[in-house]
Amino acid sequence: MNTPSHKALVPFVSVENMMKLVHSIGIEPMLIGLADAIESDFKRWDKFDKTPRVASHSAEGVIELMPTSDGEVYGFKYVNGHPSNTALGLQTVTAFGLLANVGDGYPVLLSEMTLLTALRTAATSAMAAKYLAPKGATTMAMIGNGAQSEFQSLAMKAIVGITHVRLFDIDAAATEKCAKNLANMGLTVTKCPSAQSAMEGAHIITTCTADKQYATILTDNMIGSGVHINAIGGDCPGKTELHRDILLRSDIFVEYPPQTRVEGEIQQLDPDHSVTELWQVITGQAIGRHDVKQITLFDSVGFAIEDFSALRYVRDQVSNTEFFGNLDLLADPDDPRDLFGMVLRADPARALE
């Protein structure tokens, strides 16, 4: 959307319009488009400002800001993570994001990002798996069947080519929900009684649980050779899903090491433990999967460039559509030096004089 930055009205994509956009494009084509946008930005990694997200932690959860800029456009996402919200009937994760013109600082897009974060997280997982999963992967174990599970499954189908997803969650109702939602989506879906049984025959193992604790969702004896692990549930200090021994057997790939060492699975390892940055694999500067027996692990915590890419994709997709509104977000006095005068002229009593 090439909205002139001097305009005071800011394009806004609401939840309703985001859902309309998804259905207009199609869920799987949108996941593919988001993955392409993220991959494109990873290929120009050195153009971006990079910093770990700014986090405010509490006993209940975390609230974070995730900023970045490519020198022309600035973006940030506000996001929370509150695992206990589900019991209250609330989303575990909610978010919104903004793009702004670096030249004058004016926002050019404000968007909901609760849905968009789920989509971009799945797109990022599948983009990484395209480089790291074993060739011909057809089956994924989905451990944790909450809000992210369907998106992950469909992204792996659309981008990697899986045909079968094996579900497990300690909450049987979550598994039933996921299986119902994935019905008639072109995947064979199997509901499994345990995490270990879910991994039978799986080439890709995705873990996405919500509890904010050092957990051991997968133990070392559960992981055979030649698999790709997509670990997306460990995403803040004190929250992990994999036994440390699994990490020691794996070749580990991350988004941004200074953030992942604090928040990801590798917080369990020594600070100098070797990891490979995913952008290096995408640009051919590092090797991803090189052996059929290799265990690859994408320790994904989410990074601001992925949100920037997603917002950029949405900006371009909603251009010349009706899938956005305009927010009167910015003061726009006739004389930029006379902000107070604009306030005076808005006084209803003055209008009656």
Q: Which residues are catalytic?
A: 235
Rounded to the nearest 10 degrees, the angle between the axes of helix 114-132 and helix 15-25 is 40
Q: What is the residue-wise DSSP string for 100-141?
A: EETTT--EEEEEE-HHHHHHHHHHHHHHHHHHHSPTT--EEE
User: Do the beta carbons of residue 306 and residue 79 sit within 8 Å?
Assistant: no
Nearest to 124 by CA among 156, 164, 146, 166: 156
Q: Which two tokens stand for residue 324?
A: 């956005």
How far does CA 213 lie from the centroid of its chain? 20
**What is the H or E stretch that residue 16 is in?**
helix 15-25
- Percent helix, strand, coil in the chain, to 5, is 40, 25, 40
User: Strands, E, within 42-199: which ranges?
Assistant: 54-57, 62-69, 73-81, 95-101, 107-112, 139-143, 164-168, 188-191
Helix, coil or strand: residue 67: strand
Q: What is the DSSP letter of 25?
A: H
Contact status, residue 156 vs residue 123, Cβ threshold 8 Å: no
